[in-house]
Structure 1
């Protein structure tokens, strides 16, 4: 069956519907949700139910949109207060870590390509290109696993992992593009030119991302739209404008949208609730779409020829290249223990990003690019199965896990960001009510009021003479500390 204008809506809906139902069952067994979406695409593809999708350019376009939204959304969820203590090690991992992983893996691939037992024969530059496409941790997979499982980790490891995964994709992208240009030119690499290209990409990506982030905040806070639902759509248009302008100026568009997201996530923003809800839903949709699309793109029977070499490279990356890169990069940071470094090494997840990057050599018609694509896809599956299914157990085994932080309140009440207050809930016990059992008698902190009382499934409007009972939940509103201090 081939995709047409008449059936694409129906087929696409069935794929997404099937993926969501299957992921609900697989989640109970600890299977990463995004892995299941990838398997759904493979199951419906050419070697499964027969859906024919073989356009690397379409997959790359969908992947470009998906990755830009995922990185932007991840940036919006990144708080300065969380990443400040781990900013330096996170940046070192996302830059030097990617370069070390590329170098170590590329040399290993070049070494084994000369073995008679393997069926690949790659030059050193092609080996480095293959390694570069897989050198970054996948932002979609890392964000999804850490947040869907509500993982909380010691030593500030969670914000460091999220910072690394959000900021190292642009570095891997730059390496991939530069190496493709070198291979396509057929000349020996000019390292000065390579460094210049990398600096140009970093400069324009950083400057445009920051400028558009500030402009977006200014515009959203000042423009007066008739419908609040238009604000997230306006922001989405600004996101794609940022991506396109940066790409046209030869900057790193993925870095730009990530920085743009960080700016918006750490600045007072009107209609934040509506924007966050919209972006979270859109991120999930594009994660599902891109993993299913990539699953459809691959022909599983073609991976049989590269299974042995894929296992060799995958195991080397998981057990040697990633751990060695992490330990070397984190060596100066004494506050991160060896257990912490070992866990960071294990969260070297591959996912949609390496597969998307692997389509660039295919479209550039690099010799053996289809074989490179199949190897990347195989290693991604291997990583999601081995590492993705064991991250929670690894954190517990290394005694790095913490109780999940409480989010929101049990009343489901949220206040606009413009109101400089905090909402908390308090459950009353018998000891609290031994002498004082009315609101008027309770000594609440200055600047704190009781908004609602929840008794069982009933919500009560409080007054000073209300008789309180053990088990009652109070919704408290209070001034922010810095405001009350003034």
Structure 2
């Protein structure tokens, strides 16, 4: 079946519908939802139900749009107070770690190239190119797994992993582009060329991302729009303006939108709840679209031709290249335990980003690029299955997991940033009611109000004479940072 303007809406809707239903079932068995989206795309593709989609450039465009939204949302959810203690570690992992992974994996690929048991013959430059496309962890996969499973980790590991995955794409992207230029032109690899390119990408990406972040905050807080639903759409337009403008001046758009998200997410922002709800839904939609598109792009039968060598390369990256890079980067930080270093090594998830980067050699018509794409795709599947399905178990095995933190409250109420107060919940016990079973008997502290009472599935409006029962849950608004204690 060919994708046409007449049937794309129907087919796309069916794909998304099936993906969501299948992901609900897969989640019960610990299967990453993004892996299921990828598999649904493959099921409906050329070797499955026959949808023909073979445009690497279209897939690249979808990936660019999706990653811009995913990285921005990830940046918005990144809390600076949590990231500051691990800022240096995260930056080292996202730069030096990516470079070391590329060098180690590229050397290994070149070493096994030409073996009788492998069916690849790659030059050293092409071997490095293949390694570079896979050298960064996938932000969509890491954000999705850590947040959908609400993983809480010791040693401040979660912000470190999110910072690494959100900021290491520029390094992998730059290495991929530089190596393509070197191979296409036949010139030699120049450390000066790489250094200059990285400097330009990081400087312009950082400056433009921060500048547009401050502008976005000012604009949203000052402008008076007739409908609150327009504020997240306004912000979405600024995301794409930031990306395209940064790319136009040869900076890194992915880094820029991530920094934009960090700046916006850590400032006082009007209509934050509306914006968060809109961006979360849009992020999920484009994650599904991106993984479905990449699943449609691949021809599964071609993966069999590279399965052996891809398995060898993938296991080398997971077991040797990634751990060596992580341990080398974290060597100066003696306070980080060996268990924590092992866990960071294991969370080297590959996902949509490597596959999207693997489309660049295809579009540039690098010799053997289709084979490179299939190898990257196979390794992504291997990583999502082997690592994605075991992250929670490895955290428990290494005793790095903590109890999950509850998000929000049972009343579904949030306060705007402008209100300098906090919401808390208190469950009434017989001890708290020993002075009386009315609010007036509880001596609620000054500056504190009981907003609602939840009794089972019933919500009650409180008053001083309201009769309270053990097990009732009170929603309290307080000016104090600490949870008020009923007397």
TM tier, shorter chain?
A: over 0.9
Aligned to 2:209: 209
Q: Determine the C-alpha separation between the residues in 2 that align with 1:189 and 1:398.
A: 41
Gaps in structure 2 of 5+ consecutive residues: none
Question: For the residues of structure 2 that align with 1:145 and 1:254, how far apart are their CA atoms?
Answer: 20
Q: Does 1:51 align with 2:51?
A: yes
Whole-angstrom distance in 1 between the partners of 2:457 and 2:49: 48
CA RMSD of aligned residues (A): 1.2
The superposition leaves residues 105-141 of structure 1 with CA deviations (integer Å, 9 ceiling, x where unpaired) of 0000010003222111111111111001000110000
Q: Does 2:36 correspond to 1:36?
A: yes
Contact kept in structure 1, 2:422 and 2:481, CA below 8 Å: no
Partner of 1:330: 330
Counterparts of 1:145-160 in structure 2, within 5 Å, are: 145-160=145-160
Match of 2:224, SS state, is coil
Identify the residue that residue 274 of structure 2 maps to in structure 1: 274
In structure 1, C-alpha distance between the alignment counterparts of 2:173 and 2:193, rounded to whole Å = 17
Q: Secondary structure at the match of 2:440?
A: coil
Could you tell me how far 1:480 is from its partner in structure 2?
A: 4.5
Distance in 1 separating the partners of 2:457 and 2:124: 67
Q: Distance in 2 between matches of 1:481 and 1:25?
A: 40
* 184-193 or 314-323, larger mean C-alpha shift: 184-193
Give the whole-Å Cα distance in 2 for the aligned partners of 1:219 and 1:480.
30
CA distance in 2: counterparts of 1:241 and 1:481, whole angstroms:
38
Equivalence for 1:75: 75
2:143 is matched with 143
CA distance, structure 2, for counterparts of residue 360 and residue 443 of structure 1: 67
Aligned to 1:302: 302
| Alpha-carbon offset, residue 248 of structure 1 | 0.5
Distance 1:480 1:222 in 2: 28
Kindly indicate whether residue 341 of structure 2 is the aligned counterpart of residue 341 of structure 1.
yes
Q: Deviations over 1:421-453 (max 9, x none)?
A: 101110000111122322122133331111111
CA contact (8 A) 1:70 1:283 kept: yes
Q: Aligned in 2, Cα 1:104/1:220: closer, same or farther, shift over 3 Å?
A: same
SS across alignment from 2:287: helix
1:454 counterpart residue number: 454
Q: CA deviation at 1:459?
A: 1.6
Query: 1:33-432, aligned counterparts within 5 Å?
Result: 33-432=33-432
Contact 2:204 2:250 in 1 (8 A): yes
Match of 2:399, SS state, is coil
SS of 1:31's equivalent in the other structure is coil
Q: What do the CA deviations read for 1:174-205 (whole angstroms, capped 9, x no partner)?
A: 11111111111111122212211111111110
Confirm or deny: 8 A CA contact 1:221 1:270 kept in the other structure: yes
Q: Distance in 2 between matches of 1:444 and 1:407?
A: 25
Residue 155 of structure 1 aligns to a residue whose secondary structure is: coil
What SS does structure 1 have at the residue aligned with 2:432?
helix
Secondary structure, counterpart of 1:425 in structure 2: strand
- Aligned with 1:440: secondary structure? helix
How far apart, in 2, do the equivalents of 1:260 and 1:182 lie? 32
Q: Distance in 2 between matches of 1:444 and 1:331?
A: 52
Distance 1:347 1:386 in 2: 11
Contact 2:449/2:476 (8 A) holds in 1: yes
Distance in 2 between residues matched to 1:317 and 1:222, nearest whole Å: 49
Quick one: distance in 2 between partners of 1:72 and 1:392? 25
Deviation at residue 418 of structure 1 after TM alignment: 1.3
- Asked if the contact 1:155/1:335 (under 8 Å) is kept, the reply is no
- The CA deviation at 1:457 is 2.0
Give the distance between the partners of 1:194 and 1:454, measured in 2 at CA. Answer: 60
| Distance in 1 (alpha carbons) for counterparts of 2:214 and 2:174 | 25
Counterpart CA distance in 2 for 1:187 and 1:395 is 45
Task: Give CA-to-partner distance per residue, 1:29-60, whole Å, 9 cap, x none.
Answer: 11000000000000000000100000000000
Are positions 1:445 and 2:445 aligned together?
yes
Worse-superposed segment, 116-125 or 380-389:
116-125
Instruction: String of CA shifts for 1:136-181, please: whole Å, max 9, x gaps.
Output: 1100000000111111011111111111100011111111111111
Q: Which runs of 5+ in 1 are unaligned?
A: none
Superposed CA deviations along residues 214-270 of structure 1, whole A, max 9, x for unmatched, are 111111111111000001011101100000000010000100000000000000111
Q: Deviations over 1:326-345 (max 9, x none)?
A: 11111111221101111111
SS state at 1:424 partner: strand
Matches of 2:67 and 2:414, distance apart in 1: 29
Which stretch has the larger CA shift, 182-191 or 64-73?
182-191
Give, in whole Å, the separation in 2 of the partners of 1:238 and 1:52: 34
Query: CA–CA distance in 2 between the matches of 1:455 and 1:203?
Result: 55
Deviation of 1:371 after TM superposition, in Å, equals: 0.5
TM-score of the pair, normalised by structure 1: 0.98
Contact kept in structure 2, 1:354 and 1:376, CA below 8 Å: yes
SS at match of 1:432: coil
Provide the residue aligned with 1:17 in structure 2: 17
Please list every run of at least 4 consecutive aligned residues from structure 1 whose deviation after the TM superposition is greater than 3 angstroms.
none
Q: Would you say how many aligned residue pairs link Structure 1 and Structure 2?
A: 483
